[in-house]
Structure 1
Amino acid sequence: MTQQNVTALVCHMNIKLEDGSTADSTQASGKPAKLNIGDQSLSPAFEAQLLGLAQGDKHNFTLGAKDAFGESNPDAIHHMDRSRFPADMELEEGVIVSFAGPGGSEIPGIVREVAGNSITVDLNHPLAGRDVTFELDVVEVITG
């Protein structure tokens, strides 16, 4: 019998922070996530956790920041003038703003500080620099 090559897992996923709080969950939307294997979208450490999982499996694992959403990059923190934002936009710490990225994509940024007309925006992934725990519930295994 030849082993089929697993190309993706469809999973319900909870992402938990160090304090046990839930940062994100596919349960809320009812739409499971598709995790592609071998396309470089996941870190090697994340992919290693997926090996051997089958439909119906539940698997929990914790990854350090560099293997989860990456380390926080200081070059992705920008100080911008208030004039670069719409006049009616409410800017306060924690607000998520969107910027145009390459090819028409959107890049979310989090306002980290407002000091007069200087707005500090962090374009790192919101979970960058954090160790996180993934709770997976495998719905489907896609083979190719």
Structure 2
Amino acid sequence: MSEAIKSGDTIAVDYTGKFENGDVFDSSEGRQPLTFTVDTGMLIKGFDQAVIGMKKGESKTVTIPPEMGYGPRDEEAMVEIPRAQFPQDMALTEGLELQLQNPAGQPVPARIASINETNVTMDVNHFLAGKTLVFDITIAETGLEPPAGSCGTKSGGCDSGCCGSCKCN
């Protein structure tokens, strides 16, 4: 019989992520299971906590509130960009997703929230911020090696490409 999953274990899961109304926003169906090291900041806290104590082959459905997911929406997370900074031939429409860069040069996904004569207002909240999420999770494998170059390798450290999501001790 397999051991219960604990913090620091590397596992693979099959999952389907849904909104409370049942609409699917992500799934491993048709792809390889998601491999990650539990409780290292690779995934949202609520997902990490959901798999702790589970065993290989076990399935469950978990509801994750925003505070354990992508956080609440931050109405201050809007960026005004002069319309002149966009190419003239670019079709700007509300809801269009674009990549911005933060001051460190890292990509930041953003959506056009509004457009006026002089400015384009970009919303830089994660698209799942403020949402309660429902995940169907099945443990596919346990006792795996951490993914190469991941935070879970401990040798990579916080400068190993984890984009600041690592928990460095």
TM-score range, shorter chain: 0.7 to 0.9
Q: How does 1:62-141 map to 2 (within 5 A)?
A: 62-101=63-102, 104-141=105-142
Q: Indicate yes or no: 2:58 matched with 1:60.
A: no
* Corresponding residue SS for 2:141: strand
1:9-35 superposed Cα distances (whole Å, 9 cap, x missing partner): 21122111121111122225x132223
Shift of 1:129: 0.5
Aligned to 2:11: 9
Q: Return 5+ residue gaps in structure 1 as ranges.
A: none
- The number of equivalent residue pairs is 141
Aligned pair in 2 of structure 1 residues 103, 115: CA closer, same or farther (>3 Å)? closer
1:68-91 superposed Cα distances (whole Å, 9 cap, x missing partner): 111112332112211222333222
Query: What TM-score do you get using the length of structure 1 for normalisation?
Result: 0.82
Shift of 1:44: 4.3
Residues in 1 aligned to 2:91 and 2:28: alpha-carbon distance in whole angstroms: 29
Residues in 2 aligned to 1:15 and 1:9: alpha-carbon distance in whole angstroms: 18
Q: Return 5+ residue gaps in structure 2 as ranges.
A: 146-169
Contact 2:15–2:135, Cα closer than 8 Å, also in 1: yes
Contact 2:45–2:69, Cα closer than 8 Å, also in 1: no
Aligned pair in 2 of structure 1 residues 33, 104: CA closer, same or farther (>3 Å)? farther
Amino acid at match of 1:130: K
Q: 1:23 aligns with which of 1, 12, 25?
A: 25
The structure whose RCO (Cα within 8 Å, separation 6+) is larger is 1
Query: What TM-score do you get using the length of structure 2 for normalisation?
Result: 0.71
Aligned pair in 2 of structure 1 residues 33, 90: CA closer, same or farther (>3 Å)? farther
* Corresponding residue SS for 1:111: strand
